[in-house]
């Protein structure tokens, strides 16, 4: 019988060949290839790192809150990773410290967003402080910790539930028209045409002074945080769901080209370092495109929210009503208004 059909023969064969758990006849590794035992190694430092010779800072991120440094210690490579600890141990300590903070205004959007350098005189801790005032309900909900769920929005769900929601939200953002007309945030404007404007996004809080000579912006260290926005002047375009055919594809390509040109001409950042995308769902309901550096990561870069303009234009070339018919998948926070509407309409 074949061995697989006769377990007794298979067992006998194993026993005659010896214990399968015995060590093989492979040669022992040489001393040079053996890993050093932990007890053979001493800690890198005692109470100072004065004997560490810096060679290169490999990473310096989040305003210095994370850094990785390469150097030499006793003639051998040594890598240090530094993560800055919070100055305050718990939320109550932070709440108590807030009234004492000393503020210096660093940026103002011309609308509800303002930015400050804040210092706690008691601890010496420093903060980049963003203030939103008055804060809309949707932003308050977005800032709260919440459970996340994934939604697949069909064309029917969009027409029945999401479109009315988007139209109601769009009616509350009149400030966008003032930005597009260069009545607000004019100092942030980099490009304006009949269809859209390109502005510095208010999220780019490290941007240099707007009253400085723009020639000094090119190649500045803070361009590592580049964040630009192209905003449509057409109020009927609330999101990429409203784009159709050649006109929609052309707008995508024009926005992308203008954003890349501004990044290159004003800041010296080439197109090969950038991504240009729409959000769906967007933060506000007027079609707008984001331009960030490729290494810049945040929740808006995830595949269930970011849609590259090159892909959107190509889809519209293939099917003029693609975004009227396609299902779109995205995350929502449990408890936010759109999630409630979709759940009630399910």
Please give the pLDDT value at position 330: 96
Please give the pLDDT value at position 66: 86
Mean pLDDT by runs of 10 across the 346 residues of the chain is: 50 45 48 48 77 91 84 90 82 89 80 82 85 81 84 97 96 92 94 98 90 96 96 98 98 98 98 98 96 87 94 98 97 91 84
Please give the pLDDT value at position 13: 47
Q: What is the CA radius of gyration of the chain?
A: 29
DSSP bridge pairs for 80 = 69
Helix boundaries (H) for 80-200? 91-97, 137-143, 155-157, 163-170, 175-180
What phi, psi does 231 have (nearest 5°)? -120, 125
Encode pLDDT of 20-52 as tens digits. Answer: 444 445 555 555 444 444 455 678 877 778 888
Please give the pLDDT value at position 301: 87
* Residues 241/200, Cβ–Cβ less than 8 Å: no
* Residues 59/68, Cβ–Cβ less than 8 Å: yes
Q: Tell whether omega for the bond before 281 is within 30 degrees of 0, i.e. cis.
A: yes
pTM exceeding the 0.75 threshold for the entire prediction: no
Q: CA-to-CA distance for 170 and 281, rounded, in angstroms?
A: 13
The whole-chain average pLDDT of the chain stands at 86
């Amino acid at each position: 019988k074949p061995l697989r059909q006769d377990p007794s023969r298979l067992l006998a064969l194993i026993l005659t060949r010896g214990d399968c758990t015995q060590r093989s006849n492979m040669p022992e590794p040489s001393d040079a290839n053996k890993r050093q035992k932990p007890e053979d190694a001493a800690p890198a430092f005692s109470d100072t790192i004065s004997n560490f010779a810096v060679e290169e800072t490999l990473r310096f991120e989040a305003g210095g809150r994370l850094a990785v440094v390469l150097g030499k210690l006793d003639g051998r490579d040594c890598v240090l990773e530094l993560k800055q600890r919070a100055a305050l141990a718990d939320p109550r300590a932070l709440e108590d410290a807030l009234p004492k903070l000393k503020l210096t205004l660093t940026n103002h959007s011309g609308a509800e967003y303002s930015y400050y350098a804040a210092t706690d005189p008691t601890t010496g801790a420093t903060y980049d402080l963003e203030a939103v005032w008055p804060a809309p309900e949707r932003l308050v909900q977005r800032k709260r910790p919440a459970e996340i769920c994934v939604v697949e929005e069909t064309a029917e769900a969009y027409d029945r539930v999401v479109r009315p929601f988007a139209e109601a939200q769009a009616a509350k953002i009149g400030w966008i028209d003032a930005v597009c007309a260069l009545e607000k945030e004019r100092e942030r404007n980099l490009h304006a045409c009949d269809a859209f404007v390109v502005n510095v996004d208010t999220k780019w809080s490290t941007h240099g002074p707007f009253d400085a000579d723009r020639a000094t912006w090119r190649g500045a260290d803070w361009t590592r945080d580049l964040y630009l926005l192209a905003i449509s002047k057409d109020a009927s375009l609330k999101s990429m769901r409203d784009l159709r055919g050649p006109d929609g594809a052309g707008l995508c390509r024009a926005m992308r080209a203008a954003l890349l040109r501004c990044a290159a001409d004003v800041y010296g950042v080439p197109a090969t370092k950038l991504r240009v995308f729409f959000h769906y769902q967007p933060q506000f309901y007027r079609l707008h495109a984001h331009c960030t550096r490729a290494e810049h990561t945040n929740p808006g870069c995830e595949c269930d929210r970011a849609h590259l303009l090159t892909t959107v234009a190509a889809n519209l070339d293939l099917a003029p009503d693609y975004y009227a018919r396609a299902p779109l998948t995205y995350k929502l926070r449990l408890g936010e208004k759109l999630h409630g509407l979709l759940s009630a309409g399910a």
